[in-house]
Structure 1
Amino acid sequence: MTASYLKEEHELFRQSIQKFLDKEAKPYYEQWEKDRIIPRELWEKMGENGFLCPWLDEQYGGLNADFGYSVILNEELERVGTGLVGIGLHNDIVVPYFDSYGSEEQKKRWLPKCVTGEYITAIAMTEPGAGSDLAGIKTTAVRDGDSYILNGQKTFITNGIHADLVVVVCKTDPHAKPAHKGISLLVVEEGTPGFTKGRKLDKVGLHSQDTAELFFEDAKVPAENLLGEEGKGFYYLMEKLQQERLTVAIGAQVAAEEMLQMTIDYVKERKAFGQRISQFQNTQFKLAEMATEIQIGRTFVDDVITRHMAGEEIVTEVSMAKWWVTDLARRTATTCMQLYGGYGYMEEYPIARRFRDIPVASIYAGSNEIMKNIIAKNMGL
């Protein structure tokens, strides 16, 4: 079943990105997992082929493409491996902040290089003592003439090692009441005095995706790097989190579909007690149950994508999709590994990597518990 938002040109684009990834990513992905990083060369090649921020306006190097192209990119990157999630973060989570809230000067300065892959972006929200509670961040930015003096620490930052531009969530007014009204967004550039990247974090999964700690010690950031207005940062974040959470749901949906298919292929080949595992009723029931839930997930995600593209306010539905589909993908990973038996626990089988990679999807971009809080609040509870 083809989603209603996909047209012929979208499918041609899918064929193009698939061909590109077959040549430039799939043969090297396992090595990148071992190296614990994706080379910048992939970013540059993606830029050369028009696969970075295609939705941007042509004057900045984009293609004026709709969100459907972003969906296809995220789906095909996920099929290679979840470790490529940083590319989707750059394309559809960070760069949209520049496009929506940046001045014309900022856009001309940053966007073209975001399209070519010369600039890799990150967004720094989480701190050692503040995650879901964004209003509780401690990082501060004090105005000093034509600069801000930035102090604080961020952690779990996707693209943290490679990042050339980091959108830093900070407090320009630490005494604001309520606290979220004191939050602003500052863009910190690589090489800024006082800005250092810490260690590359050693994660359970997403091994090829660079995740880092970031430190700001009297970092001198030009005032012209303020994104939008002072004190509006929290509102900007709330506006953009809808697309971020939808992107996570899309990735989890594809991960579930991939795990189901690889498990179907495996049980048709593997034999036990003189017959193929696929012939056991328990195997058939488990696969039938997963297939049903995954189809429900696909139908719901596609509907949410369609409504998002239409510009609807669907915070509740996106929150539902984010928690339910990531939870589904986690259950799918566990069930599929069980059907593989001991081989599923071996790194040579891709289900092992999927099993490691999927749990964090229910944590980042707002934990699933926060998603349920949002849904309950919007139900009037």
Structure 2
Amino acid sequence: MNDAGGKFETLAVTHGERGQRPAEGVEDVAVPVHLSSTYAVPDIDPDASLETLDPDAGEFLYSRLSNPTRNALEHRLAALCGGEHAFAFASGTAAIVTAISAAVEPGDHVVAFDDLYGGTKSMLSRFFEDRLGVAVTLVDARDTEEVAAAMRPETALIWMESPTNPLLRLCDIEAVAAVADEHGALLGVDNTFVGPYFQRPLELGADVVVHSTTKYLNGHSDSIGGALATNDEAFAEEVTFLQRVGMGNMLAPFDAYLTLRGLKTLPLRMEKHASNARAVAEFLSDHSAVSAVHYPGLDSHPQHGLAARQMSGYGGVLSAELATGLDGAARFVAELDHFPLAVSLGGVESLIEHPATMTHSPLSQSERDFLGITDSLLRISVGVEHESDLLSDLATGLDAL
């Protein structure tokens, strides 16, 4: 799929859209939204197969199988992730469940980061373990030796996030990839928190990378989607079957269009997200009302050296612990004008979220304590607004403490 040429910024703007002609002699600069659910074919072909349908050759039959707008997006995603193949799904969760399903079968074993997104942990335990008989071992993947020690002969997959949500912990992707290779397992990395502009796990040895396109890739908080990219041909064939037939989960044409549009400004947005996030992290680190700041771009982050080695930038998400309790955190949030209280991240607007009562509320108190999610912890998705406005707003909130 990926015949890309050019630098990241160029690929983000044009790749995948050229050549998507709606009619002879018409050359749209932006690929149109192809809303048709079905397509006429020239004749009866006894050799046709749903699994070998080639949209790059103009073979379209039904939009669940392939759609011109989605096909353009998948080409661009492959190019930006450094993969030969990419697939677009209806959500990030759909991308993850498809990736894991393509890698394991009953009786297999998965080693996963113990600090995974809560939805992914629930998926591994309630769906793969309880229903499909896939064993799962959670480890502190900040220590690669713990990953290696958890491996078994039946381990088929290592599943990582780096950085993690919400404490921005990292794993050494290259080192974990070496463990996977040694044991004949696949390595999957959820790269949502920084995206392909700042980190490219496939180039660090991962076999599959996933993103919630809802976040930075779309970047405007108006579309939900997911993506998966890989260079593994056999794995890509399995994902093709699962996307087209086995699960039938794909990104709708209009959401594909929105994500294509969002990707055009991804490099510009990521630079601003990162510069604003660093300013916010430094401001909070120096404030007496803040007890801790978690951001890989700070020298104080315990894995800053690793971040500098495997990332070209540190993204726009950080978390901070206030020197107060739950009531104080509520007072702080109530004073903010430029940081609405909301889940999700990666949009052009800044957001703030309270993990203990929002994203991680399904966890027990002991589970939250184990992960380090306190009542005073706040996750901040820093947008692209003016830096001084954001810092002034945060100062107002801190004054309320």
TM-score range, shorter chain: under 0.3
TM-score (norm 1): 0.25
